[in-house]
């Protein structure tokens, strides 16, 4: 079994929102960043994987087990840090962790203590009195302490202060030292996943529009500066054009395709630059968004 | 092996790793047949993803700077003086190119530029 997660044709209707069909695979040892706008379907996807809501169609397997409330093994395979932290609760952190431990086969108490220390979590405070940041910490502790192989993170750092966020990133790197583990990490903040993520999935209007490795993205996307030409409209794979006093700045999503056209057409190339992953992700989201808008228009 | 990597730079991490290791090989800091850390160890030491290190090693191997032994890992290739020289010259040309372009745009003539460069080299004195 090389996969920690497999989704095939997953669909879910939630109020006016349609998710899917989503098909996605995540190998052991890999971190997948899920990038999309608010309302694109990131949380609904994670909710379906974790069983917070049940899919209408399709199959979901976590570590080979069907994502199904009756399948106890499935529940033991993953931990979920949701964007909406734990509901109002009159228990203390200690009692909450004791309570939920009944639902899992294994608990790594050493890791649990470690997380409580590293995240500076006030374990004896009643949950409803906790700040949002502290509720997130409790989510992290409960998601990671029961020996999951897959972590589902939904904008986990939103409410964390910079020091705790840094501690959290360390914790995540430690988790990934085990080659069997995987993470699916939904976020708006590309910079925080830029180092750890292997692959990037882009989600727009309820569907996954692209899954690419970080290497593909950083090598394929390029800014190219050329001299003015009549063939601007024909240059392939260009997502943005900017006229800068007779020099044209292109943003290409396929460097090789764009370059071979430029060379064949004998267009003067002045310079070329790599782009930051952050910028690449932004341009890619804008690109897919405009594609969807064109479709609607037609 | 811990490298100083800039994660807010536009240069992809795999390219940064490639350049840093290449520089270490050319300067002789990494000697021939030195074993590089495994991909996984390197990734953990530098807190980056495995795929990034894989790619960096791959391009180092394609460029003939390192070699791999099946199930043993990656090693620094021995470079003869002429190859080392060629690579160093290519590096110099690539890096000096934009600087010279800028100097010319700012109005310096080629003889003025040559003069400046010669003076800088003279200042290095016995280091050369």
A167 and A179 in a single domain? The answer is yes
Chains A and B form CB pairs within 8 A to the count of 46
A159 and A237 in a single domain? The answer is no
Mean pLDDT of A24-40: 94
For the stretch A124-134, pLDDT in tens is 999 999 999 99
B91 and B114 in a single domain? The answer is yes
Residue A229 binned pLDDT confidence (cut-offs 50, 70, 90): confident
Q: In terms of residue numbers, what domain contains A155?
A: 3-214
Beta-carbon separation of B51 and A214 below 8 A = yes
Is the minimum CB–CB distance between A178 and chain B shorter than 8 Å? no
For the stretch A237-290, pLDDT in tens is 999 998 888 889 999 999 999 999 999 988 889 889 999 999 999 999 999 999
B61 and B106 in a single domain? The answer is no
A232 and A196 in a single domain? The answer is no
Mean pLDDT of A64-91: 86
> Which of B7, B9, B12 to probe the A interface (max A CBs under 10 A)?
B12
Mean pLDDT of A138-164: 95
Asked, for residue B104, whether it belongs to a domain, the answer is: yes
A269 and A191 in a single domain? The answer is no
Answer whether residue A152 shows pLDDT above 90: yes
A255 and A141 in a single domain? The answer is no
Distance from CA of A178 to the nearest CA of B (A): 10
A203 and A243 in a single domain? The answer is no
B39 and B85 in a single domain? The answer is no
A209 and A237 in a single domain? The answer is no
Task: Name the percent of chain B lying above pLDDT 70.
Answer: 98
Task: Name the percent of chain B lying above pLDDT 90.
Answer: 61
Look at A2 and A251; give whichever has higher pLDDT.
Answer: A251
Q: How far is CA B25 from CA A98, B3, B59, in A?
A: 54, 14, 14
Q: In terms of residue numbers, what domain contains B102?
A: 81-127
DSSP character at residue B78: P
pLDDT of residue A70: 83
Answer whether residue A85 shows pLDDT above 80: no
Asked, for residue B7, whether it belongs to a domain, the answer is: no
Mean pLDDT of B34-59: 93
Look at A291 and A33; give whichever has higher pLDDT.
Answer: A33
CA gap A203, A17 in Å, rounded: 14
Compare CB distances from A274 to B12, B47, B50 and report the shortest one's residue: B12
pLDDT of residue A246: 81
Into how many domains does chain A fold?
2
On average, the pLDDT of chain A sits at: 92
Residue A56 tokens read as 């209408």
State phi, psi for A146 to the nearest 5 degrees.
-105, 35
Answer whether residue B128 shows pLDDT above 60: no
Residue B127 binned pLDDT confidence (cut-offs 50, 70, 90): low
Mean pLDDT of B32-60: 93
Into how many domains does chain B fold?
2
> Which of A193, A273, A276 to probe the B interface (max B CBs under 10 A)?
A276
Long-range CB contacts (within 8 A, 24+) of B25-33: B25/B65, B25/B66, B25/B76, B25/B79, B26/B79, B26/B84, B26/B87, B26/B88, B26/B91, B30/B76, B31/B76, B32/B76, B32/B77, B32/B78, B32/B79, B33/B75, B33/B76, B33/B78
Beta-carbon separation of B11 and A274 below 8 A = yes
- What residues of A are in contact with residue B102 (Cβ under 8 Å)? none
ipTM of the complex as predicted: 0.79
> Dihedral of CA B48/B52/B57/B59: which sign?
negative
CA gap A172, B28 in Å, rounded: 36
Is the minimum CB–CB distance between B10 and chain A shorter than 8 Å? yes
B37 and B69 in a single domain? The answer is yes
B33 and B58 in a single domain? The answer is yes
Is the minimum CB–CB distance between B14 and chain A shorter than 8 Å? yes
pLDDT of residue B126: 61
A129 and A7 in a single domain? The answer is yes
B70 and B95 in a single domain? The answer is no
> What global pTM score does this model have?
0.88
């Amino acid at each position: 079994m090389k996969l920690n997660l497999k989704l095939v044709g997953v669909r879910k209707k939630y109020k006016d929102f349609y998710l899917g069909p989503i098909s996605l695979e995540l190998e052991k040892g890999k971190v997948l960043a899920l990038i999309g706008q608010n309302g694109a379907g990131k949380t609904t996807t994670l909710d379906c994987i974790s069983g917070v809501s049940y899919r209408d169609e399709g199959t979901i397997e976590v570590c080979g087990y069907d994502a199904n409330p009756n399948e106890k093994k499935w529940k033991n395979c993953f931990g979920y840090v949701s964007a909406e932290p734990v509901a109002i609760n009159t228990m203390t952190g200690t009692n909450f962790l004791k309570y939920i431990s009944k639902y899992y086969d294994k608990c790594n108490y050493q890791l649990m203590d470690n997380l409580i220390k590293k995240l500076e979590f006030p374990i004896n405070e009643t949950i409803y009195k906790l700040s949002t940041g502290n509720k997130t910490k409790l989510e992290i502790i409960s998601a990671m302490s029961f020996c999951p192989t897959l972590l589902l993170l939904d904008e986990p750092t939103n409410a964390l202060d910079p020091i705790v966020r840094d501690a959290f990133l360390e914790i995540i790197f430690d988790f990934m030292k085990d080659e069997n583990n995987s993470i699916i990490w939904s976020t708006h903040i590309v910079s925080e996943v830029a180092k750890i993520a292997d692959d990037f999935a882009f989600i727009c209007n309820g569907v996954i529009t692209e899954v690419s490795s970080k290497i593909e993205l950083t090598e394929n996307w390029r800014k190219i500066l050329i001299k003015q030409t009549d063939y601007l409209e024909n240059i392939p794979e260009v997502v943005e054009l900017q006229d800068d006093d007779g020099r044209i700045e292109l943003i290409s999503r396929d460097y090789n395709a764009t370059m071979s056209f430029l060379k064949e057409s004998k267009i003067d190339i002045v310079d070329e630059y790599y782009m930051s992953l952050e910028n690449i992700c932004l341009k890619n989201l804008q690109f897919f968004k405009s594609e969807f808008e064109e479709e609607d228009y037609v | 092996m811990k490298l100083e990597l800039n994660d807010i730079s536009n240069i992809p991490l795999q390219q940064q790793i490639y350049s840093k290791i290449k520089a270490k090989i050319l300067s002789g800091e990494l000697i021939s047949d030195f074993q590089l850390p495994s991909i996984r160890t390197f990734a953990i030491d530098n807190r980056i993803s495995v795929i990034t290190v894989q790619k960096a090693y791959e391009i180092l191997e394609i460029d003939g700077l390192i070699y791999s032994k099946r199930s043993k890992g990656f090693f620094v290739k021995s470079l003869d003086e002429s190859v080392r020289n060629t690579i160093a010259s290519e590096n110099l040309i690539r890096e000096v190119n934009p600087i010279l372009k800028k100097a010319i745009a700012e109005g310096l003539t080629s003889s003025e530029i040559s003069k400046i460069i010669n003076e800088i080299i003279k200042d290095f004195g016995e280091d050369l």
